Chain A
Amino acid sequence: MAKFDLTSKMGQYLDRHLVFPLLEFLSAKGIYNETELLKAKLDILSKTNMIDYAIDIRKQLYPDEEIPDDLKQRRNHVVSQLQELQQEVEPILTVITDEEVMKNMESMRDSKTLINFLSKDYKFEIEMIDSLHKLAKYRYECGNYSVSTSYLYFCLLVLPPNDKNYLSVLWGKFASEILYQNWDSALEDLNKLREYIDSNPNQFSGNSLHLLQQRTWLIHWSLFVFFNHAMGRELIIEMFLYKPHYLNAIQTMCPHILRYLATAVIINRGRRSALKDLVKVIQQESYTYRDPITEFLEHLYVNFDFDGARQKLHECQTVLLNDFFLISCLDEFVENARLMIFETFCRIHQCISISMLAEKLNMNPDEAECWIVNLIRNARLDAKIDSKLGHVVMGAQPLSPYQQLIEKIDSLSVRSETLCGLIDRKLRAKTDTRWVNQDF
């Protein structure tokens, strides 16, 4: 199972805090050794301020040992620091809690007027924003994601986009929203962040490597949103497959993301057109990354090897079952993959025996027949069942040459007409009226 686990690959592009859900998931699945996972967790925690949590894990790991003093000391230190920071930004905190003012603020889009307004009425100084930023970071480190979200929101309102902290505020906000599981605003932040990265490539001072890194992070972080938000499946294809910058980043830095992209395309019935593009990318990257899901697509759409596809589909299920992001769409995936196999099958075949089909789809024959009947009834398939022989016979639909011809010349007259009309209009606009009556 561990063979197809991507956590270690993903981990390097995620924030410490974002790795926790993944580790929790893994320990629930029990693929890895429990103590090793705990150790990993502890390791990650050591750089954060979530001391209590660290103490808990320590207890789990070494039930006999005492909690070391430095942890306790650090805890006190963290608390005192927090208070200190809190005092520094007291005025802002009062503003934030005041709903009336917040509403006012939101209506002001320009950060300059906003700052003026704040400094006039609420003893606000621009230096405070720095402290607030620090405080938000501190809160985030302590695991208070919701508080940190609101702080960062304030920061975003006040800071002009060219501020040096703006990017880190954006990232921080995005991470907190994800961890707070507030997917709507997370998606909003994702878009904001992406726009910011794409529109200001110069801020990385022409360092394309840096830019690439930012994009790679964004790709990984966005997985949380895409597989939890209702719109995510649509958007993931849009972003990963049809934004050259991001496809490029995937191909160069993290081809393992192809798994998620492939899954998203498969479960998205409306986007069959994307398959073609995806298969091309998969083929191109087949030497750097392959897993059952990409191989499934390859078998089905490159080699037309239905047996291979069936086998891979079987493997896919276990992969999905053990993937943090994909586990929720397992059923959908299986259903759609079956449909894909069947569709392709029907396109090629004229007559299929149900038993063979059932075997290819990992179903029993009765179930398969039922499934096909449903498909036919929903008018998604032009076919008939020969129940005596147990065959499905496709409705023949070869395009006759006559039809082809009609199709080809169908639009011609309309196009010519519009062309004529356009020229006519142009001429009339350009020349005197005497030209109007004249033919040309």
Chain B
Amino acid sequence: MSRFFAGSDSDSDSSSEEEVIQRPVVPTYTFSDDEEEVKRVVRSAKEKRYEELTNIIKQIRNYKKIKDMSSMLTSFEEIQKAYQKAIPVINKEENGQTPRFFIRCLAEMEDFINEMWEDREGRKNMSKNNSKSLTSMRQKLRKYLKDFEEDLVKFRENPEQPDDEEEDEKVEAEPDSENEAASKNQFLKAPAKQQVVDDKEESSDDDDDWPSDSETSSTSSEDDEGKYAGKYNRKRFLKDRGPEHEDDEEKERKKDEKRKERKEKDRRKIKKEDEEDGEGEWETVRGGVAIPSEKPKMFAKDAEIDLNLVIKKLSEIMAARGKKRTDRREQIELLHELQNVSEQHQLGAAISVKIKLAIISAIFDYNPKVSDAMKPEYWLKLLERMAEMLGVLLNANNLVVSDTITEELENLEEPPYRIRGCVLTSVERLDDEFTKLLKECDPHSNEYVERLKDECKVSNIIDKTMQYLERTNVPSELCRIYLRKIEHLYYKFDPRVLQQKSGDAALKDEYTSVQEMEKLCKFIYAKDNTDRLRTRAILSHIYHHALHDNWFQARDLVLMSHLQETIQHSDPSTQILYNRMMAHLGLCAFRHANIKDAHNCLVDLMMTGKPKELLAQGLLPQRQHERSKEQEKIEKQRQMPFHMHINLELLECVYLVSAMLIEIPYMAAHEFDARRRMISKTFYQQLRSSERQSLVGPPESMREHVVAAAKAMRNGNWSACNNFIINEKMNAKVWDLFYQADQVRDMLTKLIKEESLRTYLFTYSHVYDSISMQTLADMFDLGKPVVHSIISKMIINEELMASLDDPTQTVVMHRSEPSRLQSLALQLADKINNFVDSNERILETKQGNFFLRGANQGNFRGDRQNYRGSTNQNWDRQRRDRDRNREKDNY
């Protein structure tokens, strides 16, 4: 519980400082202890008692770390009892000399309590239970300490002296029986003296406190820095130096201890086995060469490093993971060190994979905030480790890494190796981190480019993971990794595809990305049972097809997937992908001269006026706090990295041009039509805004160009229109962005001619009695068959009241355009019709279906016609409506 209530942030930050002091002790203890336990089965009374004590001490240390006062209090009581029990042993074995580790513990505890007491701020924030315990603890401790005053003073004189000395001392101190008696006396007298000494003790306590006091202050100042560092990245770098220094000191100290421990071990070993010893020494020497001296030492110099040892060490390091006071950076370093050691001793693939997994997760842990990107140096490390690990995994055949393997089932010693862990999740996390990292960079800087170079490596890692997972062949996992692969693949343009399509013989058998996508996606379609993966795969697949001009495949996939209906219910990132897909589908349709489809694909994106936001390519500037900080953060997370962006100007231009090609003839045809609807709102806005200007200059921006072109087209002036759309400025801005720009331009010119011809006929047919097709063909620079076909189409669709005169090759106008009065009358009739319709509908909704829906029956057929797209309302609503009208008239 205390972890939760542990107080302010500053407290938790300071933890690293304290932990640094204590931690080295912990491992040494547990280490040596374990060693002894394993070797000796029969334990002496001393052993037993001491073990009890050390266990409790360990506990106390833990509580200290997490500042759990109440538990500490109970442990303190326990240790008192345990010590009481141990007294006979101590008296016998150590001549009444209080064991040093016990004293050390007491001293530390005292320091800690005082420190806590001093920290008023912290005390205030403490939970009630804890603060109560703290006070009682303080009093009890003070009382208890009086018994050990002498020892404590001794200890404080030389606190750095390691505990092992106690054993040495033991040997030396044997004849020293006076000492024993003295201590005994002291012990017996203590309760009586208690009252008297109280004051004195207080003062001495203060003295003792002094160093620790300064420590707290230093921590607190550090804390402040830490707080700022969280906000300003720069400061964090500056601050870094501080802990490093301390770390060095720390390491020094630890090294000392280690050395001593080593000595002791040496001695023990020499007694046992000489040969082994020699071997161990040999190996550590070799290690010494490889490891730079600043690095923390893992094992005793001549310790026999074997698998068990390394595993133990690893689990020890990993046990500290996620704890508050663990220094994450040091953990990474320790793990690296361990990795080096294990590599030098060639302990096998399994352990190295295990360590690498641990390193990877440690690096992931390094960043406390999920939303922030990791530091580049760690990123590089992560990449390397990941690549190495996958390399090992791919080379070793008898190695299974899986998260279904429990710790008990782990087998690192002999093949078949089994390791707990999940490569896939790590790779996924790595990929996510990569996107985060890219988003962090300024897209126009070199830094971004540098980072982007890692894309190859990430893709490589994903490829390797794919290979690895294909070996185990679990469909759900394969689906996940395939999707990752797809997400790295779908937005990349592969020019070979188009070359192959155009019949380049050299590339005939090449395996292009389209084929790869096909393979991956098909697997996901077949094997996936979460809907999300499949949806994303479909969307990416369509995107990829659209990118490579496979218009029909892309269109069919869209229509068959029926995603348009359900996409509103999916998560934002999938919706973004959907929008991106639609954008590219629109571009693809445009390249294929399917202007209506292009328009319909893009209209949803462009109508809102914020395609940037819909494509997650940047946030709109904040307007009156539309979104809270939280929202903005979430939205920022969703943004696409820059290299995946779709050019918005291109998108808008394509949209406006297709709107122009549809809208202008439509406007001309329905000039007096009361029911005329806008096809594209945005296009109208552009037109109107230019009309409002009193003076229109030559066009500058892309939009102005399109508007000017639209105006030219209205008059049927195709060449002017063409020049406005296709000129150097527009080429540079827009058209050159297409892969086969010339083809697109040719297509555009052709379409402009055709639509201009239509507009011309709509607008000026009333001034002609008849017009020769040859003249029209010359005017619009089109072939005569094309003109013939266009006019035929218009006649059949009853857009043009005319007929052809075959012998003279002319178009004869029927001049049946209604006069003003007639057209007004027609409009009135239309309105009355609507009125009656709505009347009937009202009655229908009120009373159920009484009418034969004679008027509507035609509509059903219209729906049926393209049932494939019928669910896609936007797909070709316009066309269908028009067809329906036409059809009614025809039949």
Chain A residues near B (Cβ < 8 Å):
242, 244, 247-248, 251-252, 272-273, 276-277, 280, 284, 287-288, 303-305, 307, 344, 347-353, 356, 389, 391, 394, 396, 398-402, 404-405, 408-409, 412, 415-416, 418-419, 422-423, 426
With contacts A401-B819, A408-B830 known, is A280 near B866, CB below 8 A?
yes
Q: Is B847 touching A348 in the complex (CB atoms < 8 A)?
A: no
- Please tell me which stretch of B22-30, B254-262, B797-805 contacts chain A, meaning at least 4 of its Cβ atoms lie within 8 angstroms of it: B797-805
With contacts A303-B789, A351-B805 known, is A422 near B850, CB below 8 A?
yes
Q: Is A423 touching B804 in the complex (CB atoms < 8 A)?
A: no
Within the assembled complex, what's the spacing in Å between the Cα atoms of A348 and B805?
9
Q: Is B826 touching A408 in the complex (CB atoms < 8 A)?
A: yes
Q: Could you tell me the dominant secondary structure of chain B's interface residues?
A: helix
Interfacial chain A residues near B825, Cβ < 8 Å? 401, 405
Q: Mark B864-891, 1 if CB is under 8 A from A, else 0.
A: 1111100000000000000100010001
Of chain B, the residue at the smallest CB distance from A396 is: B814
Of chain B, the residue at the smallest CB distance from A406 is: B829
Q: Is B840 touching A419 in the complex (CB atoms < 8 A)?
A: yes
Q: Is B866 touching A348 in the complex (CB atoms < 8 A)?
A: no
Interfacial chain B residues near A350, Cβ < 8 Å? 803-805, 812
26 contacts between A and B (CB under 8 A): A242-B864, A248-B867, A251-B868, A277-B864, A284-B868, A287-B552, A303-B789, A304-B789, A304-B796, A305-B789, A348-B795, A349-B804, A350-B805, A351-B805, A351-B807, A404-B818, A408-B829, A408-B830, A412-B832, A412-B833, A415-B836, A419-B839, A419-B840, A419-B843, A422-B850, A423-B843
With contacts A348-B796, A405-B822 known, is A353 near B806, CB below 8 A?
yes
Of the candidates B792, B864, B883, B887, which one forms a contact with A348 in the assembled complex, judged by CB atoms under 8 Å apart?
B792
Q: Is A409 touching B832 in the complex (CB atoms < 8 A)?
A: yes
Q: Is B822 touching A349 in the complex (CB atoms < 8 A)?
A: no
Q: For the complex, is B816 an interface residue (Cβ under 8 Å from A)?
A: yes
Of the candidates A277, A344, A415, A416, which one forms a contact with B865 in the assembled complex, judged by CB atoms under 8 Å apart?
A277
Of chain B, the residue at the smallest CB distance from A426 is: B847
Within the assembled complex, what's the spacing in Å between the Cα atoms of A288 and B556?
11
Q: Is A347 touching B807 in the complex (CB atoms < 8 A)?
A: no
Q: Is A401 touching B816 in the complex (CB atoms < 8 A)?
A: yes
Interfacial chain B residues near A405, Cβ < 8 Å? 822, 825-826, 829
With contacts A276-B887, A353-B806, A353-B807 known, is A415 near B826, CB below 8 A?
no
Q: Is B836 touching A305 in the complex (CB atoms < 8 A)?
A: no
B555 → chain A closest CB, angstroms:
9
B829 → chain A closest CB, angstroms:
4
B262 → chain A closest CB, angstroms:
69
Of the candidates A280, A344, A398, which one forms a contact with B801 in the assembled complex, judged by CB atoms under 8 Å apart?
A398
Within the assembled complex, what's the spacing in Å between the Cα atoms of A305 and B786?
9
In this complex, how many residues of chain B approach chain A with their Cβ under 8 Å: the count is 44
Within the assembled complex, what's the spacing in Å between the Cα atoms of A422 and B852?
13
Q: A304-B788, A356-B806 are in contact. List 18 more A-B contacts (CB 8 A).
A: A248-B867, A303-B789, A304-B796, A305-B785, A347-B796, A349-B803, A349-B804, A350-B803, A350-B805, A351-B805, A352-B806, A389-B807, A398-B814, A400-B816, A401-B816, A409-B829, A418-B851, A419-B840
Of chain A, the residue at the smallest CB distance from B791 is: A348
Interfacial chain B residues near A352, Cβ < 8 Å? 806-807
Q: Is B792 touching A401 in the complex (CB atoms < 8 A)?
A: no
Interfacial chain A residues near B312, Cβ < 8 Å? none
Q: For the complex, is B772 an interface residue (Cβ under 8 Å from A)?
A: no
A27 → chain B closest CB, angstroms:
36
Within the assembled complex, what's the spacing in Å between the Cα atoms of A356 and B866?
36
B185 → chain A closest CB, angstroms:
90
Interfacial chain A residues near B792, Cβ < 8 Å? 304, 348
Total CB contacts across the A-B interface at under 8 A: 103
Q: Is A401 touching B843 in the complex (CB atoms < 8 A)?
A: no
Q: For the complex, is B793 an interface residue (Cβ under 8 Å from A)?
A: yes
Q: Could you tell me the dominant secondary structure of chain A's interface residues?
A: helix
B234 → chain A closest CB, angstroms:
58
Interfacial chain A residues near B833, Cβ < 8 Å? 408-409, 412
With contacts A252-B560, A273-B891, A276-B883 known, is A348 near B804, CB below 8 A?
yes
Within the assembled complex, what's the spacing in Å between the Cα atoms of A284 and B552?
8
Of chain A, the residue at the smallest CB distance from B798 is: A399
In chain B, residues 404-421, which have Cβ atoms closer than 8 Å to a Cβ of chain A?
A: none
Interfacial chain B residues near A277, Cβ < 8 Å? 861, 864-865
Q: For the complex, is B823 an interface residue (Cβ under 8 Å from A)?
A: yes
Q: Is A401 touching B807 in the complex (CB atoms < 8 A)?
A: no
A352 → chain B closest CB, angstroms:
5
Interfacial chain A residues near B843, Cβ < 8 Å? 419, 422-423
Interfacial chain A residues near B836, Cβ < 8 Å? 412, 415-416, 419
Interfacial chain A residues near B818, Cβ < 8 Å? 401, 404
B799 → chain A closest CB, angstroms:
13
A247 → chain B closest CB, angstroms:
7
Interfacial chain B residues near A303, Cβ < 8 Å? 789
Interfacial chain B residues near A353, Cβ < 8 Å? 806-807
Q: Is A244 touching B867 in the complex (CB atoms < 8 A)?
A: yes
Q: Is B823 touching A401 in the complex (CB atoms < 8 A)?
A: yes
Of the candidates B826, B850, B864, which one forms a contact with A404 in the assembled complex, judged by CB atoms under 8 Å apart?
B826
Give the interface centre of B823, B830, B861, B868 by most chain A CB atoms within 10 Å. B868
Interfacial chain B residues near A347, Cβ < 8 Å? 795-796
Of the candidates B826, B840, B847, which one forms a contact with A401 in the assembled complex, judged by CB atoms under 8 Å apart?
B826
B378 → chain A closest CB, angstroms:
48
Q: Is B804 touching A402 in the complex (CB atoms < 8 A)?
A: no
Interfacial chain B residues near A307, Cβ < 8 Å? 785
Of chain B, the residue at the smallest CB distance from A350 is: B803
With contacts A276-B865, A408-B833, A412-B833 known, is A394 near B807, CB below 8 A?
no
Interfacial chain B residues near A349, Cβ < 8 Å? 803-806
Q: Mark B764-800, 1 if CB is under 8 A from A, else 0.
A: 0000000000000000000001001100110110000
Interfacial chain B residues near A304, Cβ < 8 Å? 788-789, 792-793, 796
Give the interface centre of A276, A307, A400 by most chain B CB atoms within 10 Å. A276
Within the assembled complex, what's the spacing in Å between the Cα atoms of A399 and B890?
13
In chain B, residues 833-847, which have Cβ atoms closer than 8 Å to a Cβ of chain A?
A: 833, 836, 839-840, 843, 847
Q: Is A280 touching B832 in the complex (CB atoms < 8 A)?
A: no
Of chain A, the residue at the smallest CB distance from B789 is: A304
Of the candidates B796, B801, B806, B814, which one forms a contact with A351 in the assembled complex, judged by CB atoms under 8 Å apart?
B806
Within the assembled complex, what's the spacing in Å between the Cα atoms of A114 and B839?
56
Within the assembled complex, what's the spacing in Å between the Cα atoms of A415 and B840?
9
Give the interface centre of B560, B792, B819, B883 by most chain A CB atoms within 10 Å. B792
Interfacial chain A residues near B883, Cβ < 8 Å? 276
Within the assembled complex, what's the spacing in Å between the Cα atoms of A60 and B520?
49
A207 → chain B closest CB, angstroms:
12
Within the assembled complex, what's the spacing in Å between the Cα atoms of A73 and B35?
82
Q: Mark B179-213, 1 if CB is under 8 A from A, else 0.
A: 00000000000000000000000000000000000
Within the assembled complex, what's the spacing in Å between the Cα atoms of A401 and B829?
12
Interfacial chain A residues near B861, Cβ < 8 Å? 273, 277
Give the interface centre of A412, A415, A423 by most chain B CB atoms within 10 Å. A415
Interfacial chain B residues near A356, Cβ < 8 Å? 806
